[in-house]
Amino acid sequence: MRTEHLAAEIAIIGGGPAGLMAADILSAHGHKITVYDQMPSMGRKFLLAGRGGLNLTHSEELAPFLNRYGSAKMHLENILTRFNAQDLRAWCHDLGYPTFIGSSGRIFPQCFKASPVLRTWLNRLARQGVQMRARHTWLGFSDKGALIFSSQDGTFETSPNATLLALGGASWPRMGSDGAWTKILAAEGIEILPLRPSNCGFNVNWSAYFRQKFQGQPLKRIGLKFGDTCIHAEAVITLKGIEGSGIYAISAKLREAVIGQSPQVLYVDLRPDLEIALLVQKLTVKKQGASLSNHLRKSAGLSPVAIALLREANPGLSNNAQKLAEAIKNVPVLITSPFGLERAISTAGGVKFSELDENLMLIRKPDVFIAGEMLDWEAPTGGYLLQASFATGVQAAKGILNRLPTAK
C-alpha cells in the first residue's frame, strides 16, 4: 500500500531564535509553516543579543555547561544533550557561517555580527516556503481552540494542526517580548511562575555626587563576593545602581535575596589579585605630602572610580595601611532591588515544566507546544541563553513531527 505524505499546517507564534529554529526544521520536512510576530520584522531580539557580537554558545564541557542552568538543569539536560553546542555550531556552518572560539571560551560566527546570520537564515526559510506574518498580535484561543490574531487588516482566527508558542519572556519589551501571553495561558489553567528580571543590574542609593560624577564608569578586574559566591569580574556604575557582566553572573542569587525588598550587601574587592598582606606592604609607604587619593592610585593601583567607590562606602576612610587594605578588599555596596524587566537581558520564571510533556507540549492543550524563554529556566550570559532557546526550539519541533503525518 502506498503511504500518503501529507503536509500539515503549523503556526509558530514568535519570530525569535526558538521559533525560527523550529520553523527551519519543520519546513525542511515539508510542512506548511506560518510564523507570526507582533513586531514589524522577525528576529529583533536576536539582533539585539548580537549587537556587540553574536555569542551563540559556549565551548565549556557539558557537565559544567549544564550546571549553568541551576535548578532547571534536570528539565533541560536531555534537551541540551540532544542539541548541544557542537550541533549549534554545525547548524551555523551549514547556514554559511563557520564559528570560532573566543579567548573566554565563548563561541561566535566568524562574521561576528547577528545581522548577516539572520538575513541568510530568513532567506533560507523563505526558500523552504515559510510564511512570515509581521505585525500580527496573538490574542489567545477561541472557545473552539482556534488561534485569534489581530493585524492591520483586523481580527481573524486560524486552526493549524499544531501550534508552537515562542513569544519570549518579558525583558526588552520594546523588542516584542512583553509577557502578555502569561494572562492568556493562565486563563487556560496553565501554571506559570511570575516573570522576574535575570542578568540584570541592581539599584543602589548612591550619593548625588557619586552617581553624577561616575555613572557609566567601569570597575575593571574586581572581585565580587555575595554569600558563598566569589568571582573575578567587571561591573559598571550607573545612575541608579550597578550592572555589568559580573553582576549578571550573580544576579539570580542577588535577586532571590532581595525578594520582599530586603536590602543585601554585595562586597567588592578592588584588588582581588593582591593578598591583603602584600597590599598592606604597598600601602605602608606613603609619599610625604601626597593626598590619600594619590596614595591609593599610586600605591594600590586604584582607578578614580574605584577610589570614589571606596570613599562612598567608607566616609571616614582611615590612613592606616592595615585598615585601608581591609577596606579595599571588602567594599560594601548595599543592593536594594533589581532593575525592572525592561532593562533585564533575560527573564526567570515562565511556564512550569510540570505543565509539559517531554516534547514540550502542553498537557492541558494537546498540539500546543512551548519553547524558548517562555519556559521556566534562566542562565547567565555567555552563550547559555541562546543555546537553550535554540535547543528547546529543536525539541518542540521534533515533538511536533512525532505527532504529525510525514510530509516528506
CA distances from 170 to 344, 345, 358, 384, 388 (A): 9, 10, 24, 18, 17
What does the pLDDT look like over 352-394, one tens digit per residue? 999 999 999 999 999 999 999 999 999 999 999 999 999 999 9
Residues pairing with 155 in the sheet: 150
Average pLDDT value for the chain: 93
Grid coordinates representing 200 are 540584570
CB 307 within 8 A of CB 327: no
The whole-angstrom separation of Cα 203 and Cα 186 is: 31
* Domain locations along the chain: 9-197+344-403, 202-338
How many CB atoms are located within 10 Å of the residue 215 CB?
Answer: 15
CB 112 within 8 A of CB 53: yes
Mean pLDDT of 128-137: 97
Q: What is the CATH number of domain 9-197+344-403?
A: 3.50.50.60
User: CA 203 from chain center: how many Å?
Assistant: 19
How many CB atoms are located within 10 Å of the residue 275 CB?
Answer: 12
Considering only 9-13, 313-317, 364-368, which range has the smallest mean pLDDT? 313-317
The whole-angstrom separation of Cα 119 and Cα 141 is: 32
Mean pLDDT of 12-34: 97
Mean pLDDT of 152-176: 92
CA-closest candidate to residue 148, choices 191, 187, 117: 187
Considering only 35-39, 206-210, 261-265, which range has the smallest mean pLDDT? 261-265
The backbone torsions φ and ψ at residue 148, rounded to the nearest 5 degrees and listed phi first, read -110, 130
The whole-angstrom separation of Cα 178 and Cα 330 is: 39
SS3 assignment, position 137: strand
User: CA 89 from chain center: how many Å?
Assistant: 19
DSSP annotation of 302: -
CB 355 within 8 A of CB 53: no
Q: Which helix (H) or strand (E) holds 393?
A: helix 384-403
Q: How confident is the model at residue 1 (pLDDT cuts 50, 70, 90)?
A: very low
Longest dimension (CA), the chain: 98
CB 374 within 8 A of CB 358: no
**pLDDT over 80 (residue 260):** no
The whole-angstrom separation of Cα 197 and Cα 170 is: 8
Kindly provide the residue ranges of all beta strands, DSSP E only, lying in 37-161, ordered along the sequence: 57-58, 99-101, 106-109, 131-133, 137-141, 147-151, 154-158
The whole-angstrom separation of Cα 385 and Cα 56 is: 8
Mean pLDDT of 228-243: 95
CB 182 within 8 A of CB 195: yes
**pLDDT over 70 (residue 67):** yes
Q: How confident is the model at residue 3 (pLDDT cuts 50, 70, 90)?
A: very low
What does the pLDDT look like over 317-360, one tens digit per residue? 888 999 999 999 999 999 999 999 988 999 999 999 999 999 99
Grid coordinates representing 185 are 495561558
